[in-house]
Structure 1
Amino acid sequence: MEERKWENMSSDCLVNIFKRLDLDMLLHDVPFVCKNWYQALLDNPLCWQNLVFPRNASESGNYQSRFARFLQFGGANVSAALDFVLNRSRGLATTVVLPSFTNIEDVLYVIDKCPALRFLAVPSHTFVVDYEDILDPVSGDYSFDSLASLDEFAEECYKQMSARKCNYMIQIIDKIELHCKDFVGLSVENAEFSNEVTSAIVSKLATLKYLVIDHAILDKKHLEIILLGCIDLEMLHIRDSLSFDENAYDVFKVYDVYILKLASRIKDFRYGDFEESSLWPFCEESDLLPFPDYIVYDDC
């Protein structure tokens, strides 16, 4: 009996296998097995449907260090590196988990390039706003110069940074509504939820099935709007988030019986400080193999 060779496996079989592999293997292992495997990977965008970057590619360890070398190709904002994998997917990517140092411009670019997108995880760095970001770009002076005290200055800084973070969320929601008609799952970290943000979620992403909110600012009234408006939610995870309701900094201290009753219809409603990956339903909906621990964004 003639021995069958891996390199002679049909293209359809290879694609069915490759689309279940993580991004690291697609970039650093599969292309170097043989020419047939490399060609199958290059010719079939279905292999690149699940683009899952590690939480922090700069961490020690073989997996992260290999990603660090790859991302250096894209420079400081990794735009070119993201463009590389997005071009391979040719608009067919359905799951994108972005690396922890992705900025807002890169997030919006990814959404533009992925009309088939169903699941998106946005890391904390996207919503980081520094004091320098609210300086006057011409003179270098602060854009507010009539404040009477340091406390007023700090309060005004916070207001402007908060407004900037909310604006980023609205930009992401608007882009998703415009380009991604089959979108069902969103994970955000370090975001801030205002009346405008929650209204945008309810009006433009009302068919969400999965929502993960991690290390965010989320008041009870905003959570209530989401629960009442997103009636298709099957999973809602709220992890290590804060609230300013009634001067309570633990959002879960202000979740009353009414909120818990609203959430009772959701199959998987979790809140608090839990360690397991919040993105596992994204994996089950896609063809990707189970997400490893590095997908959980613990810090930036």
Structure 2
Amino acid sequence: MDNTGEDAAAAARWGDMDADCLVEIFRRLPLDDVAAAAPLVCRSWRAAAGDASLWRELDLRGGGSATGTRFMPWSPLAAAFAARYGVRRFSFAGYLRLCVARAGGSAVEIALPPLLGAPELDLVSLRCPALRRVSLPALPAADDARLPDVVARWHSLEHLELEYRPASFPATAARLGASCPRFSGLKMAGAIREQDAAAMATSLPRLKHLCLDGCYLPKQVLLAVIHGGPELEALSAKLCVGFDEGDEDVAREAAMIARFEVGGSRLVDKFDQRDADGQDDDTSSYVDVM
């Protein structure tokens, strides 16, 4: 039985669907499908896929992969662009330019993958002025030094997630405090220093939500963070090294914080404990964590 006519009629009905309805449907699709597949179905789908509202929240991380394989030349996304658009040299830089162009300056959230280059960071900082939430990977030293100037362009920024504590954090915090009046949320990994705690107290006194899970966080630094955050409503320091989760001093000082979570945190890690027991004089684990 020939169903060609019925299939054509069904396609026509989908193509005739109201643009707002198509946009709502596309909103439930993965961003990669909206970028690579939907625009090729018909003109109405192409128009709907270009609606700026679909590109306001850009999660461009590697699909859960720490190495960002989603954007490698051999990835399924690269294959889709090669097959459908004839793109021979797929790259994250090109995909980012596509996303930013379709957002048209309206993007409010972006999460960027590892191995981010300076041109891509500049593109986001200049072409996405309305960002409210930003997630950044660990940056090379040169880009780390430029981070204060980058964040200062996002005047609407409310939340910043840093995969690793940047060396420029004190300067970055100062620019956040001066340029982003609604900034209230920070998530950061790595080794937290006394100067970082001081920067939070001095430059980010309105900080309400702070996540330092998995950090190297000595007790005195944690106490400085607590004392320097008078408006903190939520502080998570789970699975940290540098203080014990049952420390009574820490619990007492943090009593005014509505949500305070320190589960799994310990004074030393399992390798350092051998030093404490006198079983091993190797202190390399302290060097590694710093």
User: Do the two structures share a fold, i.e. TM-score over 0.5?
Assistant: yes
Shift in Å, 1:273:
5.7
User: Structure 2 counterpart of 1:185, which letter?
Assistant: G
Matches within 5 A, 1:1-300: 5-19=13-27, 21-42=29-50, 44-52=51-59, 53=61, 54-56=63-65, 58-59=68-69, 65-67=75-77, 73-74=90-91, 78-102=92-116, 106-107=120-121, 110-123=124-137, 125-126=138-139, 166-170=166-170, 172-174=172-174, 176-177=176-177, 180-189=180-189, 191-241=190-240, 250-253=241-244, 256-272=247-263
Give 3-state SS (helix, strand or coil) of 2:212's partner.
Answer: strand
Give the TM-score normalised by the residue count of structure 1. 0.56
Structure 1: gaps spanning 5 or more residues: 134-163, 242-249, 275-300
- Length, aligned pairs only: 224
User: Structure 2 counterpart of 1:197, which letter?
Assistant: D
Conserved 8 A contact 2:35-2:49:
no
Aligned counterparts of 1:186 and 1:68: Cα–Cα separation in 2 = 33
Aligned counterparts of 2:119 and 2:257: Cα–Cα separation in 1 = 33
Give 3-state SS (helix, strand or coil) of 1:251's partner.
Answer: coil
User: Structure 2 counterpart of 1:168, which letter?
Assistant: S
- Distance of aligned partners of 1:58 and 1:8 in 2 relative to their CA distance in 1, 3 Å threshold: same
Aligned counterparts of 1:16 and 1:236: Cα–Cα separation in 2 = 36
Aligned counterparts of 2:23 and 2:213: Cα–Cα separation in 1 = 34
Conserved 8 A contact 1:118-1:185:
no
Conserved 8 A contact 1:119-1:186:
no
Conserved 8 A contact 2:165-2:188:
no
Shift in Å, 1:104:
7.1
Shift in Å, 1:220:
2.7
Shift in Å, 1:94:
2.0
Give 3-state SS (helix, strand or coil) of 1:101's partner.
Answer: coil
Q: Which structure has the greater CA radius of gyration?
A: 2
Give 3-state SS (helix, strand or coil) of 2:135's partner.
Answer: strand
- Distance of aligned partners of 1:170 and 1:232 in 2 relative to their CA distance in 1, 3 Å threshold: same
Conserved 8 A contact 1:59-1:65:
yes
- Distance of aligned partners of 1:25 and 1:122 in 2 relative to their CA distance in 1, 3 Å threshold: same
Shift in Å, 1:238:
3.1
Give 3-state SS (helix, strand or coil) of 2:188's partner.
Answer: strand
RCO higher in structure (CA 8 A, sep ≥6): 1
- Distance of aligned partners of 1:203 and 1:236 in 2 relative to their CA distance in 1, 3 Å threshold: same
For each residue in 1:49-82, what CA deviation from the matched residue of structure 2 results, as whole angstroms up to 9, or x when unmatched? 111122326558x9x9335667x734xxx44543
- Distance of aligned partners of 1:182 and 1:116 in 2 relative to their CA distance in 1, 3 Å threshold: farther
Shift in Å, 1:111:
4.2
User: Structure 1 counterpart of 2:48, which letter?
Assistant: A
User: Structure 1 counterpart of 2:196, which letter?
Assistant: V
Structure 2: gaps spanning 5 or more residues: 1-8, 82-88, 145-163, 266-290
For each residue in 1:221-270, what CA deviation from the matched residue of structure 2 results, as whole angstroms up to 9, or x when unmatched? 333333334444444333543xxxxxxxx234277323224444545443
- Distance of aligned partners of 1:194 and 1:252 in 2 relative to their CA distance in 1, 3 Å threshold: closer
Give the TM-score normalised by the residue count of structure 2. 0.57
- Distance of aligned partners of 1:104 and 1:40 in 2 relative to their CA distance in 1, 3 Å threshold: same
Q: CA RMSD in A?
A: 4.3
